[in-house]
Structures are given as structure tokens and as C-alpha cells.
A and B are shown apart, each in its own frame.
Chain A
Amino acid sequence: MTAAIDVRSLGIRYNLRLTRKNTVRETFKNLARRRNGPAHFWALRDVSFRIDHGESLAVIGPNGAGKSTLLQVLAGILEPTEGRIEVLGRISSLLTLGAGFDTDLSGRDNIRLAGAFMGMEHTDMLRRLPGIIDFADIGQFIDAPIKTYSTGMNARLGFSIATAVEPDVLLLDEVLGTGDATFRSKSQQRVEELMRSARAIVLVTHDMTWPVEFCNRAILLEKGQIVAAGDPSEVVRVHEERSGQRRAGQQPDPLPPLYDAGLPALSSHIPGAVRLR
């Protein structure tokens, strides 16, 4: 089995001076008090894991743990500040489904636009268009501007696009709970299909039933580091225990980061691997 995703000692650093300011004036202010406060923030540090084809990884953790950042790196949206990452095959990454739509354009135009943004071939996209519209099941609204859509319709269309492109690697962020019961079961079916066709999935979720039901591996992120990895039910148990403590107002004991989760892959060379820029 070749690894679909290989992440080694990944670190993502945010420059807080850069992200906080928006005007020239604040730049000067920041220059003046350069010494105060941390300049950087590591959203992820020393994250290593690998996923083989056909595997499905659940990423869980409290808010601000770096889950979405991890997905953004995997999708190639963020560049690693350190470490390296290899993703084999085509990635689909409508991370927060539907959020990237151009609300003035119709659903149909947005499907085309999303396909073009994802770098799909034009003919390929045209071929898939009916299927996407069909799966989204939003009827006449497909030719109406997105701004007239309900939240559920928006998410349905987003899910439909993200999964219709037959990605080799599917990145999902908190999307499976969208839509009504009918669409939920339909999307559940679609995800299961994708997983069966030997494709890798990385799923970020707060719904703890999903990792156990649909993923064969899980990692728990806390403060940008992997603190637990392995069997989903085990990792979910650790996470729920710790969030229970947090709810009770206690600070759970910090877990030692797992530096070497997935490190066996370090020496292996992956032929044909796409190195993300």
C-alpha cells in the first residue's frame, strides 16, 4: 500500500503581527512595541502521520486545536512553515462547504466556477454537471442566484460538488450534519461509496459518532499537536474524557505530544508522490 497522505514534522506558523494589522498605521504601532507579546503562533507543530489509500482519518480536538489548519495544509492552501507533506492524487477540498460560492451567480454558474477553481478539465466538468445538479436536488433553484438559497441548499450543493469530482483524497470539514434527514442519509451513502472505492478521507468533526462509524483511524489534536492517535473509539474516548473535564471547569493534564506518529514512513520513498507547494 502506498501512502495517500504522508505528513512529516509539519509545522504551520502564523505571524501575528501580520495577521492582526490591516492598516499602515498599525504597522508602525507594531514596530514601535516590537518587544511586547509573542510575534508568532504555531497553529500546528511536529505533526506527523500517514494515511494509506482506502483509509479514513478522523481529526478531532477542541476548538482552536488546529484541525481546520491541518485540512488547509493538506489541500495545499497553506504552505508548511516547516516539515513536509505529500499528497498523492487529486484532492477535493470544499472545506466549509458552500462558503466559497459567489452569491450573485446562479448555482449552475457556481458549479462551473468551483470546478475551474479546483482545476478540473472543462469537458470533465460538463460531463459531471448533470450528476452534481441531480445529487444536490435543489430543483429550479439551480438557475437562481446563490443568495436566494437556504443554508441547507447551500451546503447540499457544496457537498455535491466536493464529492462529485471523484477525488482521490477527500477533505471534509464539519459537513456531514447538514441538510435534512433525507440528504444526510444520501451524503452518508456517498461518503461510504468514496471510502469503498479505495480513496482516502480526512474528516474534521465535532460529531463523535462519525469517527467511530466511518473512520478506521483517528488523531486527537490539542494546541496544534497530536496528543493521541490510533483506533477511533479509543481516541474519541480520550477526547470525551478530556472535554468532560473541561466542561467541569478543570484543566485536563496536558498530554505529551506524539512526535513520531507515522514516522515509520520517513525513510520510505513514495514513487509518483506529489509534493505540495
Chain B
Amino acid sequence: MSAATEAVRPAYRPDRPGPVTTIRQTIADVVSRRRLILYLVRADLKKHGADTLLGNVWWVLDPLLTMLVYVVLVAVILRSTREAYPLFIFCAILPWKWFSSAVGAATICVVSRERIIKQVAFPKIVLPLSACVGGIVSFIFGLIPLFAMLVLLFPNHLTPWVLLIPVVAAVQFLLTLGIGILLSGLTVFYRDVGLLMTHALRLWFYVSPALYGTDQIQSLTAKNPELARLFNLNPFTGLFESYRNLIYYGQAPTWDLLGIVVVESLVILVVGVLVFRRIEPAFAKVL
């Protein structure tokens, strides 16, 4: 083929809508396909635990067992003296489970629906969206052991502040959605994303105040204001602190940190949607 026939004749090139139109279109797509999202979520839940002995009981057991591992590690072996340590880390483990499993599911959701993508035209954004929505259910199930623990073991920590958990969870959902959409699109082009993500997520968990409190790294951040700022920019600092305030300390969430998370999440979400929509037409070709 000569160079002349290689070129795309520019006159025929379809015009690309601007960012605002893209966002608006995406919202319209999602609203019109809400039934599909519902089915996808339901399909996910139906499959989840269908091939395990205990089925959906795992939603309750899984965070509990993770907590047990860390309790053994930190409270027993490292001899942490914090009061009600199981509850202290459960405030972080529960939302983190939700985040990491939802992001993990979102990352592979487009790639694993390869066949239907090549057969039917539909807004692909419903795939990462339903993967993230599906995670909410496991989070809600995880609240059962949380409240059981609060009522049975640590009743002195139970305050009306726990009613604000949905607010913090909504912020976390925004963050999850943005990251999920972004990664689901990128995985189509680079399968490395999934592998890299496992390790990135583990690192992220350890640099966030999940197993330790912000008070414990004060000695580190006091000398180094840059590091402190960086630490506070981590969305999971704000999220974990807020959850912990509501559940463990029984006080208002860290509104300022939570505000940062909202801004960050919205930026990531908008960027994620724009990137996703930009590369979406290539999915059927690349997969």
C-alpha cells in the first residue's frame, strides 16, 4: 500500500464532541441503561459465592478474617497498646476491602466482556459502573459484623455519629468509580495494569493510616511538613480518618480532609470518564 492510500481522508473523519458534551452524553447513557446496570450487578452478585461452600457468608467472614490477621500481627506480635484495636483497624479494613475488590472487578470488567462488546453496541461505561455498584452490596454486608462488634464487644464506642457512615461511603464511591473507570479502559490496551494494580494497592494500603493512626506518625510528619501535606493529600487519609472518627472516636468526620477527597475524586472521575469515552471506540478493535 502506498503512502497516499494509507492516509485517512480528513473530510470523512467523524467530529469529536467536547468534554462537556461527552460528560452529558455519558450521564444520559447511564440513565437510559440503568436496567442493564441493575442486571449486571445482579449477575455479579449471583455469581459471587455461587461456587463456594459458604456462599454469601463470605461477605461477612472475609473482612473479619482479614481483621483477625492484622490483630494477630499488630496487637499480639507487635504488642500495640491501643484500646479496642480490632475495632480501630476494622474501620479501615472494611472500606478498604470494598475499594480494592471494586477496583479489581472494574479493572477486568471490560476485558472479560470482550465477546459481548464485539457483538452489541452499547455504552461500555456501564461495565465499570456496575462493577463499582456491585461492591456496595459487599460493603453493606460488611457493616453487619461491624455493628455486631460495636454492640457486643465495644458498646462504649457506639454513638449516633455512625449514622453518617453513608456520607463518607458516598465520597468513597466517587473515588472508587473514577479509578475503576480509568483502569478498566486502560487495561484494554495494557494488560499490565491488572498486575501492577495488585502491588500498587498493597502499597497504598500501608501508606494510608489503616493499621496505624495519624497520631502515630506525628513524629514523622512534624519534622517534615512536605510529607505531612503529601500524607493528607492521600484520599484514604481523609476517608480512613473520617470512618474512624464516626465509628471509633464517636466524633465528627474530618471535614477538611474529606473535602479534599471530594475534590480529588471528582477530578479523577471526570478525567476517567473523558479518557474512557475517548478510547471506547477502539475497544472492539483492540480486544
Contacts and interface: CB of A to CB of B under 8 A. Distances in A.
Nearest to B189: A18
Contacts of A75: 119-121
Interface in B190-246: 190-192
Main secondary structure, interface of B, reads helix
Given A75-B120, A75-B121, A80 B43 contact: no
Interface string A113-132: 11011110010000000000
B187 to A, nearest CB: 10
Contact of A77 (B40, B189, B284, B286): B284
B70 to A, nearest CB: 33
Given A9-B12, A80-B14, A116 B35 contact: yes
B109 to A, nearest CB: 12
Contact of B36 (A11, A99, A117, A277): A117
Contacts of B14: 79-80, 277
Interface residues of A, number: 49
Interface stretch (A100-108, A183-191, A193-201): A100-108
Nearest to B117: A77
Interface string B42-71: 010011001000000000000000000000
A6 to B, nearest CB: 15
Nearest to B191: A22
A91 B122 CA distance: 12
Contacts of B116: 100, 117
Contacts, number: 105
Interface stretch (A49-57, A81-89, A202-210, A261-269): A81-89
A114 B9 CA distance: 36
B83 interface: no
Contacts of A77: 117-121, 284
A23 B192 contact: yes
Q: How large is the interface on B (under 10, 10 to 19, 20 to 34, 35 or more residues)?
A: 35 or more
A159 B119 CA distance: 13
Interface in B141-165: none
A96 B119 contact: yes
Interface string A19-49: 1001111010000000000111010010000
Contact of B115 (A18, A84, A100, A276): A100
A24 B192 contact: yes
A266 to B, nearest CB: 13
Given A102-B43, A116-B36, A122-B35, A79 B189 contact: no
Contact of B119 (A13, A14, A99): A99
A11 B120 contact: no
A59 B8 CA distance: 25
Interface string B158-192: 00000000000000000000000000000001111
B41 to A, nearest CB: 11
A117 B118 contact: no
B120 A105 contact: no
Contacts of B82: none
A76 to B, nearest CB: 4
B255 interface: no
A25 to B, nearest CB: 8
A216 interface: no
A38 B1 CA distance: 9
B8 A13 contact: yes
B121 A14 contact: no
Interface in A49-77: 72, 75-77
B24 interface: no
28 contacts: A11-B8, A18-B282, A18-B286, A19-B285, A23-B192, A24-B192, A38-B1, A38-B6, A40-B6, A72-B284, A75-B121, A77-B120, A77-B121, A78-B285, A83-B12, A99-B115, A100-B115, A104-B43, A109-B43, A109-B46, A113-B39, A113-B40, A114-B120, A117-B36, A117-B120, A119-B36, A122-B35, A276-B121
Interface of B: 1, 5-6, 8-9, 12-14, 32-33, 35-36, 39-40, 43, 46-47, 50, 115-122, 189-192, 281-282, 284-286
Closest 4 CB pairs of A and B: A76-B121, A82-B12, A100-B116, A116-B36
Given A24-B192, A78-B281, 12 more contacts: A11-B12, A23-B190, A23-B192, A42-B5, A79-B281, A95-B118, A99-B115, A100-B118, A104-B50, A113-B40, A113-B43, A117-B116
